[in-house]
Chain A
Amino acid sequence: MDTVVTVAQIALGLSALLAIARAIRGPEIVDRIVAVDLVLLLLAAGVGSEAAISGSELYSAIAIVVALIAFVGTVLVARFVEWRDVP
């Protein structure tokens, strides 16, 4: 089980690097929001996978909270992007 989780977390980390690369390259702000949202979801998956070893519900709960923060952040910034040019 430890090996599986280690492999999973390395894969998630590499994916997050890819998403961060997209966040840096953009080119538009919406691309960056999509990428950062994805980074948070990958982070949630990484934390959640820890529960497979420890069996503790705390990790899954943290995963939910991170995913919800990602959602709220995305919605906020999307609204901001849409309305920042409106006088």
Chain B
Amino acid sequence: MMVIGSIVLLMGVALSALSAFGVWRFPTAIARMHAATKSASLGLALVVLGSGLAASSPGIIGIAALTTALLFLTAPISGHLLGRAAYLTGSTDYRFDALAGSQPIALRLESPSRADFSLLRWTGLIAIWVLLWRDFSVGSILGGAAVGFIIELSRRSTANPVPVNIPALARFSLFYLVALVRSNARVAWEVATPFQDDIDEAIVAIPLSVASPQAALLVANAVTFTPGTLAIELAGDPLTLYAHVLHFEGEAELRSEISRLEKLADAVFTRS
């Protein structure tokens, strides 16, 4: 266990070091973000997981799972916001820029439509709270109920609720995992080889044909973690995904990869 843990820990450290090298070496802000968002998140998750394995502590491994989940929720969000800020304030010349000439991307906060209270979700929040504290007393449950109630009350939904298909979600996660490993290998390759010479950044537009906004969100998140692409904006009607690519080889190839993602994401939100 100790050996496996050490190996996982050192792999995480290697990925973290790699992303630091990438942030140092890559020529533009968004290119640096490719290194930072993809490798550093996985690196941190692996370091925590490796420590848990090395110490043979189920508690730490549980926290590692939580870290992984949180990082994979947060990294695409910060990547998206930073990418937008970098695009709007930066002065990079793109050989191909699908966003050029369009209106400056505006903040589109849809007005919250209705409160969305779910007893099931509330119970789930209480369960998470109690498990995190590992304290099964009445006080802990009441505390969780209070915090969960506030979270549920402040929750607003703008999208229609959709059923989640668990087997399809598992398939999507598997695809996501493979893409993640591939994209980290790609970043490693970019960092290790002379990069400045063949840099060919571009912003491409990919119209999405997904059935629900939830599926569009999944696709955008996954695009941030697929090799060489970073989702910058999701806008318009029909929904169009604007992505930054490190090496522009035409939109066709990217389209076919994303249509695969769309099918997988749509399957997650259809009743089986």
Contact = CB atoms under 8 A, between A and B. Distances in A.
A68 B64 CA distance: 14
Nearest to B66: A64
Interface residues of B, number: 52
Contacts of B55: 51-55
B89 A29 contact: yes
A45 B13 contact: yes
Which interface residue of A12, A55, A57 has the most chain B CB atoms within 10 A?
A: A57
B63 A44 contact: no
Contacts of A74: 78, 81-82
A60 B77 contact: no
Contact of A52 (B29, B44, B50, B86): B50
B60 A81 contact: no
Contacts of A53: 55
A51 B5 CA distance: 11
B20 A38 contact: yes
Interface in A19-48: 19, 21-22, 28-31, 33-35, 37-38, 41-42, 44-45, 48
Given A8-B13, A51-B48, A71 B5 contact: no
Interface string B52-63: 101111011001
A60 B81 contact: no
Q: Interface SS of chain A: helix, strand, loop or mixed? A: helix
Nearest to A83: B107
Which interface residue of B19, B90, B107 has the most chain A CB atoms within 10 A?
A: B19
A52 B21 contact: no
List the 6 closest A-B pairs by CB distance, nearest first: A15-B20, A55-B55, A52-B51, A78-B81, A51-B51, A52-B54
21 contacts: A4-B54, A15-B19, A16-B20, A28-B29, A30-B89, A30-B90, A33-B85, A44-B44, A45-B47, A48-B47, A51-B52, A59-B51, A60-B51, A60-B52, A60-B63, A63-B48, A71-B74, A71-B78, A78-B78, A81-B85, A82-B85
Interface of B: 2, 5-6, 9-10, 12-14, 16-17, 19-21, 23-24, 29, 32-33, 36, 40-41, 43-44, 47-48, 50-52, 54-57, 59-60, 63-64, 66-67, 70-71, 74, 77-78, 81-82, 84-86, 88-90, 107
